[in-house]
C-alpha cells in the first residue's frame, strides 16, 4: 500500500512540475511585419509612364496630414520611399505640367478611400462618346428643323 501511495505522490509531483515548466523556460515573442519600401507608379491613360514628374508624399497620422517627402519619378515613372515608422496611411500626389493625380492608401491593408474610379473598357468609352455626339447632333437637327418649319 505504501509503495502505491509513493508512486501516486511522485506522479502528482511530476505533473505539477510539467505544468510549471513552460511558464519558466519560454520568453514572449513579438512578430510584426515592417514594410521597408513603397513603390509608386505613375502613368498616363494609355499606359505610358510619367517620367520626371513631381511626387509629394503626405503622411497621415491621426487624421492629420504632414508633408513627408517631395521628389521626382524616375525615367520609368516609378518612385520609391521608405515609410515613416508608425505611420501607415499616406496620400501621394503626382503632377507634371498640368497633369495631376493622387491616391490615398493604407499600408496596414485596410482599404483606404479609393480615389480612382473604375474605368469603362476603352472600346465602350469610344462607342459611348460617339453615341453622345450623334445624340447631340440629332437634338440640334431637331431644333433647327423645327425652327425652319415655324418660319
Partner 1 sequence: MHISDGVLSFSVVAAGWAITLVLSALILWRCKYKYDMAEQIPKISIITGTFFVASLIHISIGPTSVHLLLNGLMGVVLGVFAFPAMLVGLTLQAFLFQHGGITTIGANNVIIGIPALISYWTFRFGYRKGINVAFMGALCGALGILLSGIFLAFILISTGEEFREVAYAALIAHLPVMVIEGIITGSVVSFLLKVRPELLPVDTEV
Q: Which residues of this protein are in contact with partner 1, per CB under 8 A?
A: 44-46, 48-52, 75, 95, 97-102, 117, 119-120, 122, 125-126, 128-130, 132-134, 136-137, 140-141, 144-145, 148
| Closest separation in Å from C-beta 95 to partner 1 | 7
- ∠ CA 117-35-67, rounded to 5°: 65
Pick 86 or 98: Cβ nearer partner 1: 98
Pick 53 or 83: Cβ nearer partner 1: 53
Yes or no: say if 44 and 51 are a contact pair by the CB < 8 Å rule.
no
| Closest separation in Å from C-beta 123 to partner 1 | 10
Cα–Cα distance for residue pair 100/53, rounded to 1 Å: 9
Pick 43 or 81: Cβ nearer partner 1: 43
Cell of 89: 496611411
Closest CA to 56 of 81, 85, 30: 81
Cα–Cα distance for residue pair 149/18, rounded to 1 Å: 103
| Closest separation in Å from C-beta 88 to partner 1 | 24
Cα–Cα distance for residue pair 42/100, rounded to 1 Å: 10
| Closest separation in Å from C-beta 151 to partner 1 | 12
Pick 44 or 80: Cβ nearer partner 1: 44
Q: Where are the beta strands (DSSP E) in the chain?
A: 38-41, 54-61, 64-72, 78-81, 89-96, 99-106
Pick 16 or 126: Cβ nearer partner 1: 126
| Closest separation in Å from C-beta 129 to partner 1 | 5
Amino acid at each position: 500500500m505504501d509503495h502505491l501511495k509513493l508512486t501516486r505522490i511522485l506522479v502528482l509531483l511530476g505533473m505539477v512540475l510539467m505544468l510549471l515548466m513552460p511558464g519558466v523556460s519560454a520568453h514572449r515573442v513579438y512578430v510584426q511585419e515592417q514594410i521597408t519600401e513603397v513603390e509608386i507608379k505613375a502613368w498616363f491613360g494609355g499606359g505610358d509612364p510619367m517620367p520626371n514628374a513631381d511626387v509629394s508624399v503626405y503622411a497621415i497620422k491621426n487624421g492629420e496630414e504632414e508633408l513627408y517627402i517631395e521628389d521626382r519619378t524616375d525615367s520609368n515613372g516609378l518612385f520609391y520611399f521608405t515609410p515613416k515608422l508608425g505611420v501607415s496611411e499616406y496620400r501621394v500626389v503626382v503632377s507634371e505640367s498640368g497633369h495631376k493625380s493622387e491616391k490615398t492608401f493604407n499600408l496596414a491593408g485596410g482599404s483606404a478611400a479609393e480615389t480612382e474610379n473604375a474605368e469603362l473598357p476603352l472600346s465602350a468609352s469610344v462607342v459611348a462618346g460617339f453615341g453622345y455626339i450623334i445624340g447631340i447632333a440629332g437634338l440640334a437637327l431637331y431644333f433647327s428643323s423645327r425652327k425652319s418649319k415655324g418660319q
